A = this chain, B = another copy of it.
């Protein structure tokens, strides 16, 4: 299966660019003062890259490990592997700013080739950024110069895992599959569907993100209520590190020592390169059904979701938009102007046998009706399902239209959800209004647990004169608010370089020191993703 390249300056497949719904354009203009953008993005052929910091000898050594055909130094490869897909990343790459480009893109095909690459890069002190789908929104693909500890030249490679894209094994008795890290979401589902199975992991980045990235960034998908987070799905991992191989997971669960799988999950390439992942799989469900519900307020809706999370039954998909997001129609654009735009929209999805879906829908409906919910039928659910991976395309359209848009997310325990919600909203509105670009701040609960939930914020404003700088300040304020309000700095986007300082506050200096000790043991030369994840590097 060929792995396609994403649009270099935005999201996904250029042919699938989604125009803004007219009500959204009107809202942006009237509410936020959004004005058409100025200069169009530059063309790829006009984008240059910095001089290569690797020597010919370095490049020859890399070629000796993977073959010369799999070491790419051309401008297009380097540009395509520059940074990730945060809005600030996009705004910078659209202007042709490629200062964070890797010096080479290296494509190993096996675990042993990855091991050899890491040995070579350790010996030559070349930094290595493991690269899956390139969809990071937290700066996890931009090693920090000041942090290139002991990496003499400042050069780094993108270690692109796309050639490692096999379904290695399927154990139908244990219902597990061994996946290589370069497989992207649709390829995983296609390979498993051919055998009658599904993984059930559908993050918004599903169409482009990779298995290795899901594991390294502790991803969580839209059907997490039914299938769990990606870290719940993983039962085994193989990791190539500069010091050798970690092979983890002899049983679903074990009482033998700490769960080292959970130390690798979320390690964001700072400890090693994940070269295979063993995951739980499920028979392809016979039936799927989506539906919408309305609640008079976000608090009432959240209480209803909490009831489902704590006492069941749970749908596979469960999300609740706040009043602002419901009004803006992000979850259900066609409902704008209808009666369904009042209050807060919840979207539910059910999967299983036809009888399971029917039974569960009925039980959930009873709970939600008892909690004050009003059923809206399948329309809002089907529309959400149809557009579930389109939001990143919408962002490109907004940027084209002169708006700024970005997202951030957090999680906490249920009793702290209202405080965290208010704290983040106030921080974002205060910072951006103060900068002259008053925003629309929208939120939804995207993942629920018995003891808490995640909050996913979308911020839209005019771009103003310097949107990157405006956002940096607003994001800083939001991160401070999250830590102050006892939230986690990220529920599923990860730490990267963007969240690292707040992550250090979250786990404390001793927690950071533990991560440092692990990194120093596995990557003594500090070549792996320097500046990412580990606080205080």
| Residues of chain A whose beta carbon lies under 8 Å from any beta carbon of chain B | 171, 173-176, 217-220, 229, 231, 235, 241, 243-248, 250-260, 262-268, 280, 306, 310, 410-416, 447, 449-452, 454, 486-495, 499, 503, 506-511, 513-518, 520-522, 533
Minimum distance in angstroms from A408 CB to a CB of chain B: 12
A515 touches B258 (CB 8 A): yes
Shortest C-beta distance, A143 to chain B (Å), equals 17
Report the 7 A-B pairs with minimum CB-CB distance, sorted nearest first. Answer: A262-B262, A252-B449, A251-B411, A517-B521, A255-B492, A254-B488, A174-B413
Q: Is the CB of B493 within 8 A of A255?
A: yes
Q: What B residues does A257 contact at CB under 8 A?
A: 218, 266-268, 494-495, 503, 507, 515, 533
* Residues of B close to A488: CB separation below 8 A: 250-251, 254-256
Cα–Cα, bound, A447→B489 (Å): 34
A451/B175 in contact, CB under 8 A: yes
Please report the C-alpha to C-alpha distance between residue A386 and residue B219 in the assembled complex, in whole angstroms. 44
Closest B residue to A535 using CB positions: B257
**Which of A176, A235, A494, A514 is packed against the most chain B CB atoms within 10 Å?**
A514
Q: B244, B258, B503, B511: which contacts A510 (Cβ < 8 A)?
A: B244
Q: How far is the CA of A89 from the CA of B259 in the complex (A)?
A: 28
Is B415 a contact partner of A254 (Cβ separation < 8 A)? Answer: no
**24 A-B pairs (CB sep. < 8 Å):** A173-B414, A175-B310, A235-B451, A235-B452, A244-B510, A245-B510, A246-B510, A250-B487, A250-B506, A251-B413, A251-B491, A252-B411, A252-B449, A252-B450, A252-B451, A255-B490, A256-B488, A256-B490, A256-B499, A258-B267, A259-B266, A280-B451, A514-B518, A516-B521
The reply to whether A258 and B252 contact each other, CB–CB distance below 8 Å, is no
Q: Which residues of B contact A254 (CB under 8 A)?
A: 218, 411, 488, 490-491
Q: Within the assembled complex, what's the spacing in Å between the Cα atoms of A454 and B256?
A: 13
Known contacts A262-B263, A511-B248, A451 near B176 by CB under 8 Å: yes
Q: Hey, which chain B residues are within 8 Å of A251, CB to CB?
A: 410-413, 452, 454, 487-488, 491
| Cα–Cα, bound, A246→B267 (Å) | 19
Report the Cα distance A273→B486, complex, angstroms: 24
| Docked complex Cα distance between A508 and B248 (Å) | 9
Partner of A256, one of B250, B258, B263, B506: B506
Contact call B414/A253, Cβ cutoff below 8 A? no
A136 to chain B, nearest CB (A): 12
* A454, A489, A521, A522, most chain B CB atoms within 10 A: A521
Q: Are B256 and A503 in contact (CB under 8 A)?
A: yes
Q: Please, which residue of chain B has its CB at the minimum distance from the CB of A507? A: B260
Q: A522 contacts B493, CB within 8 Å?
A: no
> Given A262-B259, A265-B259, A450 and B175 touching (CB < 8 A)?
yes
Tell me the bound Cα distance from A229 to B241 in angstroms.
Answer: 31
Question: Which residues of B have CB within 8 Å of A266?
Answer: 255-259
Contacts of A229 in B (CB 8 A): 253
Residues on the B chain within 8 Å of A260, using CB:
507, 511, 514
A370 to chain B, nearest CB (A): 15
**Chain B residues near A506 (CB-CB < 8 A):** 250, 256
Check A255 against B451 for contact (C-beta < 8 Å): no
Assembly CA distance A495 to B260 (angstroms): 14
Residue contact A256 to B520, C-beta cutoff 8 Å: no
**Alpha-carbon distance between A55 and B175 when the two chains are bound, in angstroms:** 58
B259 with A174: CB separation less than 8 A: no
Query: Hey, which chain B residues are within 8 Å of A516, CB to CB?
Result: 521
Q: Please determine whether B514 and A521 come into contact, CB atoms closer than 8 angstroms.
A: yes
Minimal Cβ-Cβ distance residue in B for A230: B255
Least Cβ distance of A178 to chain B in Å?
A: 11
Q: Which residue of B lies closest to A499 (CB)?
A: B256
Q: How far is the CA of A412 from the CA of B449 in the complex (A)?
A: 27
- Check B511–A246 contact: CB distance below 8 A: yes
